[in-house]
Structure 1
């Protein structure tokens, strides 16, 4: 990862054939991080990273008395490319992010509280 606004960010998953590349849009340490990526190309072999439009993933952290609230919002599903309906693209990404957040929760809960 090229950790600067405009820098490249790369993702890999065990069950996906290739890495995914995006661009960092916002860095506001330690509260906010946002990036664009061609999420429509994930799991849809008829699209390529070159032809798929990008969505914006915006992650914020807020301190709370009981811990830290992480909010993840992905936007840009209003007009997905053909042949993917907007609802399908949204649902696929929602499921993927839920898996990621569940994994993060499990990891954090397994750590010692200092």
Structure 2
């Protein structure tokens, strides 16, 4: 099994605009289809609910790992909605999502990488990988539409 998903997207928007869409919890929630409760803070959990039609109302949480303006934004999130932030085996039930931004004139190259599928329990890794791979295709279209 591949241990990471990677997408590279060239956006017709300046790096500051793309950074704002990632780092501001309201903007992130808008394009990612989430209703998030409170701003992102490194090391802290942000919670909310999914607003997309296919998973509407499901609980959502993520823990911000990196906020390096305007270059890098990363977080860990659970393999599924059954995992709580206080799970004693949390490190084996989350994947790491990293966004890296690079200016290209008045455009931005955004690289998304999600890793850690190989450590998920009970052969869940392959299922989570497949689900997230499709989900990231949709989310890349969402952020492209949102910032452009």
* TM-score, length-scaled by structure 2: 0.60
Structure 1 residue runs without a partner (length 5+): 43-47, 110-114
CA contact (8 A) 1:34 1:56 kept: yes
Q: Runs (4+) of structure 1 moved beyond 4 Å?
A: none
CA contact (8 A) 2:94 2:120 kept: no
**Residues 5/81 of structure 1: CA separation in 2 closer, same or farther (3 Å cut):** same
Structure 2 residue runs without a partner (length 5+): 1-37
- Number of aligned residues: 102
For each residue in 1:3-60, what CA deviation from the matched residue of structure 2 results, as whole angstroms up to 9, or x when unmatched? 221122235232323221111101101111100110x215xxxxx1235711110111
- Determine the structure 2 residue equivalent to 1:106: 145
Aligned-pair RMSD on alpha carbons? 2.0
* TM-score, length-scaled by structure 1: 0.76
The CA deviation at 1:103 is 1.4
Greater relative CO (CA pairs within 8 A, separation 6+): 2
